[in-house]
């Protein structure tokens, strides 16, 4: 329900303490999400650098216990992945959505502000529990936590087998974080569907809203299945049930089905909002309307639907019958088509425009360039005979990082450079933004491009020691990894300095057309003192002074 003019509350104190409280303002919650997840991103990145330090040499010698057991290595990659997925990308993108969606659709807050705050406040305990698991026999079964490995006890120095506390903590943490994102998704769907200003039909919504609508539908349908799988796994772990224990009749492959039923759509949960942000940024800095608005909006929905029938392509070597492998191969191939439509539409948007190379734009172009590589290796992975060779190898590690870093993280950075003035009221330094971009691009490719070859040549993933023939390429990868880690520093310095001392941002520094740029930077507490009326489409660039028949629409 929208507040009417006379119901507007007087502004509460603009106090820093509200960022540490159960505040129901969507903008505060958005910032809470973004800052929290960025801090955790640094932790996850630090773990990645430890992993790369271990892999500088073929032997397990860095992340090992004093008696040479590489369990700490396994814990590092398990927690690295869990942080990057559940505590960095998903909450970071939820942060953007929280901050932007009400502003983009002309609403004064989210539909359920208290649920919104609750969803955020499940993240700090989830993060604390996950990080605490490091000190209680850390979980080491990978972020996939396949049973029976995840159900095995831990053997101590005296040969006694103990209950795996760290694994239990991991499961509790992921169940909490999953619940948080279900609550968030519920809120986004309701807000986008119910709270648009009357003048905004669904075909006038900014594409970021379309992307978040698709994302939230996936989250709402898929996440409960993961939560269910983890609850069953927890029963197996603590209560001696055997849903997944083969020795007493359970089926470990059933877990894989339930896990991937969520975790493949989860990839789209992590990348669709990034697509949405790119669809906002490229038209602004190309000074041209988005090319094929409806095709982009519909392809988001198509990806959301198709995303539910591709999961078993993660299981081509799990004893999946041939006919089922063929089914999942074809669906996985087809999902490349809507993704391709988006990529070509962004290229079409830039074509013939007047490109302005702001930091946001160069990251958006970097996204386009890098994401394509991940998309193409994805098609290769969908092919059953090729997948059988490269499944569980560094080829997959390369692929997923091209999608989730080259795709999502580049998009997140583009989004930060673009909306930072709106969020903080300050401008970021553009020169340092470009330095950040080039360091990231070089470090990223140095780190992940050689991994394709490592996988094809025969290096499996999740290993602490490897065949010495792979030493050279692994050294290159590690150097790239360290550079990628260092590339975060100029950004961090820029963001902290600019937030405190940067030049004040005007309401619309980029001359953009969506609603969030019509209010001051940062926006007032109630967003809009008077609700806006949509007079110009979100991407109607180049219309000024032109006659209607010059405008090419369809």
Partner 1 sequence: MSGNKLALRVLSVIAGLVIVALSFWVGTSANSWLLPPEATQEAVMVDKLFRATLVIATGIFLFVQATILYSVVAFRQQPGDTSDGPPIHGNVNLEIFWTAVPAALVLWVSVYSYDVSNKTAAGGSAGLGCSVDCPMIVQKVSNPTGKELYINVLAQQYGWTFTYPGLGGSEVGEMHIPAGQEVVVSMQAKDVIHGFWVPDFRLKQDVIPGRVTRLRFTGTKIGEYALVCSELCGGYHGVMRSQVIIDSPSKFNQWVKTELTPKTASLPVSGTKLALK
Of residues 290 through 329, those in contact with partner 1 by CB under 8 A are: 290-295, 317-319, 321-323, 325-326, 329
Q: Does 350 sit near partner 1 (CB under 8 A)?
A: yes
Q: Does 365 sit near partner 1 (CB under 8 A)?
A: yes
3-state secondary structure of 154: strand
Residues 252-281 that bind partner 1 (CB under 8 A): 252-253
Q: Does 83 sit near partner 1 (CB under 8 A)?
A: no
Judged by CB under 8 A, which stretch of 170-178, 218-226, 227-235, 246-254 contacts partner 1?
246-254
Q: How far is the CB of 386 from partner 1 (least distance, A)?
A: 5
CA atoms of 274 and 412, how far apart (whole Å): 7
* Residues touching partner 1, count (CB under 8 A): 99
Token output for 249? 């009749």
Phi, psi of 425 (to 5 degrees): 80, 10
For residue 273, the cross-strand partners are none
- Please report which helix (H) or strand (E) contains residue 237, including its range: helix 207-238
Q: Does 348 sit near partner 1 (CB under 8 A)?
A: yes
For residue 504, the cross-strand partners are 426
Q: Does 385 sit near partner 1 (CB under 8 A)?
A: yes
Nearer to partner 1, 118 or 336 (CB): 336
Q: Does 66 sit near partner 1 (CB under 8 A)?
A: no
Token output for 218? 């996936």
Token output for 283? 């038209």
Nearer to partner 1, 224 or 340 (CB): 340
Nearer to partner 1, 11 or 544 (CB): 544
Nearer to partner 1, 345 or 440 (CB): 345
Candidate list 35, 42, 220, 376; residue touching partner 1; CB under 8 A: 376
Report which of 231, 311, 224 is spatially closest to residue 265, judged by C-alpha positions: 311
Nearer to partner 1, 223 or 256 (CB): 256
Q: How far is CA 201 from the centre of its chain?
A: 28
Nearer to partner 1, 183 or 329 (CB): 329
- Which x/- pattern, by CB under 8 A, does the window 166-205 give for partner 1? ----------------------------------------
Nearer to partner 1, 254 or 427 (CB): 254
Judged by CB under 8 A, which stretch of 230-238, 332-340, 404-412, 488-496 contacts partner 1?
332-340
Judged by CB under 8 A, which stretch of 14-22, 272-280, 341-349, 422-430 contacts partner 1?
341-349
Q: Is the dihedral of CA 175, 177, 178, 183 positive or negative?
A: positive
Nearer to partner 1, 18 or 434 (CB): 434
- Which x/- pattern, by CB under 8 A, does the window 198-237 give for partner 1? ----------------------------------------
Q: What b/e readout covers 486-503, taking b as 16+ CB neighbours within 10 angstroms?
A: ebbebbeebbeebeeebe
> Half-sphere exposure of residue 155, counting CA atoms within 13 Å on the CB side?
3
Candidate list 12, 124, 246, 524; residue touching partner 1; CB under 8 A: 246
Nearer to partner 1, 246 or 503 (CB): 246
Candidate list 113, 224, 340, 522; residue touching partner 1; CB under 8 A: 340
Token look-up 């583009």 returns 414
Phi, psi of 161 (to 5 degrees): -95, 130
CB pairs under 8 A, 24+ apart, for 383-392?
A: 383/329, 383/333, 384/316, 384/325, 384/326, 384/329, 387/313, 387/316, 387/317, 388/316, 388/317, 389/456, 390/455, 390/456, 391/316, 391/317, 392/317, 392/460, 392/461, 392/462
Q: How far is the CB of 349 from partner 1 (least distance, A)?
A: 9
**Residue 542, phi-psi category: left (phi > 0), alpha (psi -120 to 50), beta (remainder):** left
Q: How far is the CB of 418 from partner 1 (least distance, A)?
A: 17
Q: Does 543 sit near partner 1 (CB under 8 A)?
A: yes
Q: Does 142 sit near partner 1 (CB under 8 A)?
A: yes
| DSSP-derived secondary structure letter, 511 | -
Nearer to partner 1, 32 or 349 (CB): 349
**Residue 159, phi-psi category: left (phi > 0), alpha (psi -120 to 50), beta (remainder):** left
Q: How far is the CB of 181 from partner 1 (least distance, A)?
A: 25
Q: How far is the CB of 222 from partner 1 (least distance, A)?
A: 23
Q: How far is the CB of 306 from partner 1 (least distance, A)?
A: 12
CA atoms of 325 and 292, how far apart (whole Å): 34
Q: How far is the CB of 134 from partner 1 (least distance, A)?
A: 16
Q: Does 159 sit near partner 1 (CB under 8 A)?
A: no
Q: Does 386 sit near partner 1 (CB under 8 A)?
A: yes
Q: Does 53 sit near partner 1 (CB under 8 A)?
A: no
CA atoms of 55 and 63, how far apart (whole Å): 10
- Which x/- pattern, by CB under 8 A, does the window 438-477 give for partner 1? --------------xx--xxx-x-xxxxxx----------
Nearer to partner 1, 59 or 194 (CB): 59
Residue 251, Cβ density class (10 Å: 0-12 exposed, 13-18 middle, ≥19 buried): middle
Q: Does 509 sit near partner 1 (CB under 8 A)?
A: no
CA atoms of 213 and 217, how far apart (whole Å): 6
Q: How far is the CB of 392 from partner 1 (least distance, A)?
A: 4
Please state, in angstroms and as integers, the Cα–Cα distance from residue 458 to each residue in 99, 442, 455, following that order. 45, 25, 5
Residues 408-437 that bind partner 1 (CB under 8 A): none
Nearer to partner 1, 165 or 465 (CB): 465
CA atoms of 94 and 107, how far apart (whole Å): 17
* Residues 6+ positions from 450 with CB-CB distance below 8 Å: 473, 476, 477, 480
With contact defined as beta carbons under 8 Å apart, do 165 and 207 qualify? no
């Amino acid at each position: 329900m929208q507040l009417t003019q006379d119901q507007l509350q007087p502004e509460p104190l603009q106090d820093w303490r509200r960022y540490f409280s159960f505040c129901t303002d969507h903008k505060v919650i958005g910032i809470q999400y973004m800052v929290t997840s960025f801090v955790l991103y640094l932790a996850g990145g630090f773990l990645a650098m430890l992993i790369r330090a271990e892999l500088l040499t073929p032997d397990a010698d860095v992340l090992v216990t004093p008696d040479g057991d590489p369990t700490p290595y396994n814990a590092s990659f398990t927690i690295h992945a869990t942080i990057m997925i559940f505590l960095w990308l998903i909450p970071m993108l939820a942060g953007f959505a929280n901050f932007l969606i009400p502003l983009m659709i002309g609403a004064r807050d989210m539909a359920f502000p208290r649920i919104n705050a609750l969803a955020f406040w499940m993240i700090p305990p989830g993060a604390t529990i996950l990080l605490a698991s490091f000190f209680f026999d850390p979980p080491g079964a990978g972020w996939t936590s396949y049973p029976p490995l995840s159900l095995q006890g831990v053997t101590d120095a005296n040969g006694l087998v103990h209950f795996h506390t760290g694994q239990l903590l991991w499961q509790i943490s992921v169940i909490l974080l999953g619940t948080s994102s279900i609550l968030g998704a519920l809120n986004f769907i309701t807000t986008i569907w119910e709270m648009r200003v009357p003048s905004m039909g669904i075909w006038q919504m900014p594409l970021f809203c379309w992307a978040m609508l698709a994302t939230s539908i996936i989250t709402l349908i898929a996440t409960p299945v993961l939560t269910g799988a983890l609850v069953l796994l927890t029963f197996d772990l603590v209560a001696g049930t055997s849903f997944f224990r083969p020795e007493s009749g359970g089926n470990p492959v059933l877990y894989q089905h339930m896990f991937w039923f969520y975790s493949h759509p989860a990839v789209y949960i992590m990348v669709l909002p990034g697509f949405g942000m790119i669809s906002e940024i490229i038209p602004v800095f190309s000074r041209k309307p988005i090319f094929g608005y409806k095709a982009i909006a519909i392809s988001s929905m198509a990806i959301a639907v198709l995303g539910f029938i591709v999961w078993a392509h993660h299981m081509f070597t799990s004893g999946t019958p041939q006919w089922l492998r063929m089914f999942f191969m074809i669906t996985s191939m087809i999902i490349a088509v809507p993704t391709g439509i988006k990529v070509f539409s962004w290229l079409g948007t830039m074509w013939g425009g007047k490109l302005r190379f702001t930091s946001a734009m160069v990251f958006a172009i970097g996204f386009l360039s890098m994401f394509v590589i991940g998309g193409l290796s994805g098609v290769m992975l969908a092919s059953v005979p090729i997948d059988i060779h490269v499944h569980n190898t560094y080829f997959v590690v390369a692929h997923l990082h091209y999608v989730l870093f080259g795709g999502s993280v580049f998009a997140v950075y583009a989004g930060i450079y673009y909306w930072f003035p709106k969020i903080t009221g300050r401008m970021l330094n553009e020169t340092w933004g470009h330095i950040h971009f080039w360091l990231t691009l070089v470090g990223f490719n140095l780190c992940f491009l050689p991994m394709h070859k490592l996988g094809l040549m025969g290096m499996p993933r999740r290993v602490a020691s490897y065949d010495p023939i792979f030493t050279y390429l692994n050294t290159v990868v590690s150097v790239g990894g360290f550079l990628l880690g260092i590339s975060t520093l100029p950004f961090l310095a820029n963001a902290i300095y600019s937030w405190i001392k940067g030049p004040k941002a005007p309401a619309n520094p980029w001359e953009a057309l969506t609603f969030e740029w019509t209010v001051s930077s940062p926006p007032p507490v109630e967003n809009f003192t008077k609700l806006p009326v949509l007079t110009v489409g979100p991407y109607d660039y180049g219309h000024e002074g032109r006659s209607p028949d010059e405008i090419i629409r369809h």
